[in-house]
Structure 1
Amino acid sequence: MGKPEKFYTKDYMSRPGMSFPIDIEDPVGRIQEFMDRYKREPVAEGFEESLMTKDLAIIGATGPPHVTAVFGMEMTPMYGSRMGNAQGAAISLIHDMCTTMAMAPLAREDFWHFGGVSRVLSVTYLRPTKTGTRVVVECEVLQVGKRFATIRGTMKDKATGDLLSVCEHNKASIIFRENPKL
C-alpha cells in the first residue's frame, strides 16, 4: 500500500460540493447553486446528502465586507434519536455545512474557492432540538485570511427564537496543484 498523496490535485475541484460557483455574484444565488450541485450529482447516502438535497434551504446571505448566511430546515426524524431529539452528530453536521457555505460569498479564484477543511468545530448544545422543530441557522464569517478562517453559527427554534446550539468553526484552506510534488 502506497503512501497517501500530500497535496490535492485540481481535478478535485470538479467534484460536486467541492468548489463555490464564483461566477455568480449574488451571495444567495452562489450558495443556492452550490446546494443545487448536490441535487444534480448525488454521490453518497446519509445525513449530508439528505441535508443538502432535501432538507436545508438558504434564506439569505450577504457578501463582503460583512459575510453572513442564514439557512432554515425542519429537524426531520432522520436526524433524530429514540428520545425524539436531534442527534448531536446531526446538529454538528448542520453547523459544519452551513458555516462552510457561509464562506461562499467571499470566494474568488485561488482564495477560498473551495470551502476548506475543518480544523476545529466546537458545538455547544444549549437546549434539546426536538424532531419536527423548524430551525434557523445563522452564520457569520468572523475572520478570514489566506489560509485560515473562523465562522460562528447559531441554531434557533424558528417559532420561539430560543437558542438551541452555537458553534465556532475554524477552517483551513487547501492548496490545489496542477502537478503536485512531494
Structure 2
Amino acid sequence: MMDAIHMLDRWICRIMGALAVALLCLLFFLMSCNVIARFVPVFSMGWFDEIVELSFAWMVFATAAVLWRHKAHPSIDILEGMLEGQRARYVVSILIDLVNICFLLAFTWYSYSLVMNASASSPIFQIPRKLFYVIMPVTGAYMTTVSLFFFVDHIRGLLAPGAVDDTPSH
C-alpha cells in the first residue's frame, strides 16, 4: 500500500513539476511575442493578459507544491539546527508541522470556496474564472497530505528508541 502511495506521490510531483516548467516556457514565449508585437505591430495580442494570468497562477501553485514536497521552501531552521541530535528537534518539527497543516487546511478550504463561488469569465476567451483558481485547492490538498506524512514521520522519529541522542550536544 505504501509503495502505491509513494509511486502516486512521485507521479503527482513529476506532473506538477513538468506543468510548472511548461508554463514557465509558455510565459517566456508569450512575453517575447508581446515585446516583438509592440515594436513590430504585425499581430494583436489583446488576449495576452488573461493567458498570462492563468499560466502564472498555475505555474506558481504547481511550483509551490513541488517545493513543499521536497522541503525546498525557504525556512528559518536555526532552532532545528541547534537541536540537531536531540529528541527536542522532533518536538519542534511536530509543532511546525501542526501549524503548517492548520494553515494549509484553511488555505485549501478558502480556495475551494473561492472556486465554488467564482462565476465570472475572462473577457476575450470566456474562460471560467473557476479554471484560474482551481489549482489552489488542488495543490493545497496535496501539500496538506504531504504535511501529514511529514508529521507522521516526525512522530515516528520522536517515538523511535535510540533514533537520536538524548543528551545535549555542546
TM-score range, shorter chain: under 0.3
Structure with more of its chain in strand, by fraction: 1
Bigger CA radius of gyration = 2
TM-score by length of 1: 0.26
Structure with greater helix percent: 2
